Structure 1
Amino acid sequence: MTPNNPPLGPSDAALSSIVVNSGYGGLHATILSGFALVLSAFSLYEASFKTADLEIFIPPVIQYARDGGGDTEVFVVPITVTNSGARTGTVLSMELTVEDLKTKRVKRYYSAFLGEHQIDPDAPNRSFAPLSIPGHGTFSDTVRFYPVGNPLPKLAEEAGDYRFSLSLVTAAPARPDLIDRVLTAKPAPVVFERTLPWISEQQLGSRRITISMPEKGWSAAPTVETAPPAQPEGPSVPK
């Protein structure tokens, strides 16, 4: 015969409720603890272990100049490089590829010097040296790009639109660890277009001026909204 269990009393029912609620509370606490652990691990990775993540920024206006008596083209580009990673990133050099959108001719340039184009041809130059950008750090300076190889024939011989592709040549870690091998990625090149509004061989060669190359449609002055003209009032109606 099956023994008859006595009915649950009020104390037994309360005890069962406590056990059930404790089970749900333990599950929630476990989930929250796991979520907090994941967030802590992600924060630690971002702050200490994330590989260098370099990004390039270019302003709306760059400069075109000449060196070597007017035979050597120079593109003067203000550049900002940011490192959103936690580890140091090293830039060995910068490469600039320029395409004349009218003739489709392409020419390559390299980062030769830092600083603005000098009007005085005898002024000292700051040679471009490898850049060490620490984690969460920034580099900002003007870079002067010179032709790779023979400077002739020149690419920009008349006014027009030009497309630029700027890329960074970076150094690989000397002793890469697992994170370096798996997560390291090369910086993406930045592509932009600028317009050469005019050109003068005499001004560029003998006077060593620079010509601004703005982004197409760019204006330094802010856009001002003009109010519509007031409508003339009609003839007054006598009361």
Structure 2
Amino acid sequence: MYLEVKSMKKSYGQNESYIQVLKGITTGVKRGHICAIEGSSGSGKSTFLNCIGGLDTLDSGSILVDGKEIVGLKQNELSDYRRDNLGFIFQFYNLVPNLTVEENIQVCEYLAENPLDMEELLDILGLKEHQKKFPSQLSGGQQQRCAIARALIKNPKLLLCDEPTGALDSKTSKDILILLEKINKKYGTTILIVTHNNSIKKMVHKVIDIKDGQISKEYENEIRVPAEKLEDL
């Protein structure tokens, strides 16, 4: 397993405001697989993703990424872990408004030891003709493509996607999922996708369904539907 999670527990608040969000999750994802993490709002999906991404700390449990334990790392070690291993894609694109598409991507390119080729990435994501534009000059789908390019330029081993199609229409959502599928095949990137969308689970290798902070079911797809054939996005 590339990602191994054991007895993951996470809570917030104290006394009357105390809430346990994750209640002992144990699971794993194979190297190079795409995994959908599903569940209703408040089920703990994003907290699960944030803990794997080192953005949130666990109360207890273990998170092994490529054999390395990340629970208990110091802040500078977590920063190194995120820099060297992870790419993040969020529902809201978080682009720097006064930087062009190219410059937004370069922000992360400078952090990487072995970045992907900028021209190749712009070509794959259909951004070549937009590279000198600012975010305000782009559509929502183009902004999300830019956010994906920024995450990928570092050549991350693990790509964490929190509702990457949540703010997009159905056609643009399909385009983005086709891109993620292409990235997975081309670079062998392990991808976790937190989503509300039931259709996405048909294209992935594995589905983890979280309910009330626990895994209610998980399974691997024997037959996967290509992203371009997904319906009801």
Which of the pair has the greater relative contact order for Cα pairs under 8 Å at 6+ separation?
Answer: 2
Per the TM superposition, whether the score is higher than 0.5 is no
Q: If each structure's strand is expressed as a fraction of its own residues, which one has the higher value?
A: 1
* TM-score, scaled relative to structure 1: 0.24
